[in-house]
Structure 1
Amino acid sequence: MAPDPWLSIYDDTYHLAQEIAEKIHLRERCLRNGENPARITVTIRSLVKKLNERIAQLRDSLLRSVSTRQITQLEGDRRQNLIDELLTKERQLQMSLSNDGPDPDVVRSSLLSGGASGISKYNPWVLEEPEETRNLSNRELKQQQQRMISEQDAGLDALSNILGRQKQMGYDIGNELDEQNEIIDDLANLVESTDSRVRNQTRQVKLVDKKSGACALWVLIVLLLIAIVVVAVWPTKA
C-alpha cells in the first residue's frame, strides 16, 4: 500500500519544526558568545515561513479530504489535532525567535525528548533537558546520539538472535511433537488390532465351550438311557 501523502507531508513538517528549534538554539548560543547571528537568523525566518506554508497545505488538504469523504470523520479529527499541535509549536518557535518566549535551551530539549507534549505548562512541546547533555555542543550531542543508536542496534541484534534461537527451538519442539503423535497413532492402531483379536478369540472360546457343554449333555442322556434299559432288563433275566 502506498503511503498517505498527507502523513508524509506531516512528518516532513514536524521534522522541519525540530530543525527550526535546533537552529534557534544555535542562534542563542551565538548571542551568548558575542557572535553575529544574522546569517542564521535569516535561515530561521526562511524556515519558519516554509513551516507556515506546510501547515497551511496540511490544513487545506485535510479540509478537502473531509469534505469529499476520502477519510472518516474520526481520522479527520485526529489529523486536525496534529495540525493544532504543529500550530502550537510554530507559535512557540516564533516566541523563542523574538526572545519573548521560554529559554531556547528548553526548546532545544524537545529534540532530545521527541517533541513530547503536555509536559510543561508554558511550553507543552518540550521537556527539561537532562543535566548530562546541557553543556554539550551539537557535535557532541550528535556523537552521543550515535552511540545510543549503536547500543540500541546492538541490543536489537542480540534480541534478534534470541528470537531466532527461540524460533528454532519452537520448530524442534513441533517436529518432536509430530514424531510423538505418530508413535501414539501407531500404539492406538496396535491396541485396536489387539483388542479386535482378543474379542475374536473370546467369541471362539465361548463357542467351543457351548459346544462342549452340549456334547456333555448328550453323553449324560445316553448314559441315563443305558442305565434305564439295564435296570428294566435285569429283573426279567433274573
Structure 2
Amino acid sequence: MAPDPWLSLYDAACQVAQETAERIQERNRYQRNGESSAKLNVVIRSLLQSLREKIEQLKELLLRAVSTRQITQLEGDRRQNLVDDLLTRQKQLQASYQSEGPGPDVTRSSLMSGGVKRGVSNPWLLEESEETRGLGFGDLRQQQRRIIEEQDAGLDALSSIISRQKQMGQEIGNELDEQNEIIDDLTNLVENTDDKVRSQTRHVKLVEKKSTSCGLLVVIVLLLIAIAVVALWPTS
C-alpha cells in the first residue's frame, strides 16, 4: 500500500512541533545563562511558521479527502481531532516562545513528561486515550495504517456482497424473461388451438346438416318406389 500523504505530512508536522519545543527549551537555557539567543529566536520563528503552514495543509487535504469521499466520515473525524490537537500544540508553543522560559528542570519535565508542574503550562499537554498512550510517532502511524487497512477490508467485503447481489438480480431478471417468453408461446398455442376447435366445430355442424338432408331424400325415394310397386302390382 502506498504511503498516505496526509499521514506523512502529519508526522512531519509532529516532528516540527517536537523540534520547536526543544529549541524553545534551549533558548530559555541561553537566556538564563546570559548568553545571546538571537539565532535561536530566528530558528524558532521559522519552525513555528513551518508548523502553521503544515497545519493549514493538513486542513486542506483533510477537507478535500472528506468532500471527495477518499476516506470515511469516521476516519475524517479522527483526523480532524488530530489536527485540532496539533493546532493546540502550535498555540501553546507560540505562547511559550513569547514568554520567559522557566528553569531547565521544569521546562524539560513539562515538555517531555506531559505533566504540568509549578504552574507552568505544558505545550504538549494532551489527553490521550489508553490505546495511544505511550506510543511513538512510528507506532501511531502503524496503528493508523492498520485501522485504514481494516476499513479497506470492510469496504472490499461490502463491495463483494453488492456485486454478488447485482449478479443474482441479473440472473433473476434473465429467468423472468425466459418465463415470459414461455408464457407468450403458451398463449399463442392456446389461441391457435381455439381457432382450430372452432373451425372443426363449424365443419361438424355442416356435415350433420348435409347428413340430415341426404337421409330425408332417401326416405322420399323409398316411398316413391313403394308406391310405384303397389301401383304396378297386378290385382287378382
Q: Normalising to structure 2: TM-score of the pair?
A: 0.46
Q: Say which structure, 1 or 2, has more relative contact order (CA 8 Å, 6+ apart).
A: 2
Larger Rg: 2
Q: Normalising to structure 1: TM-score of the pair?
A: 0.45
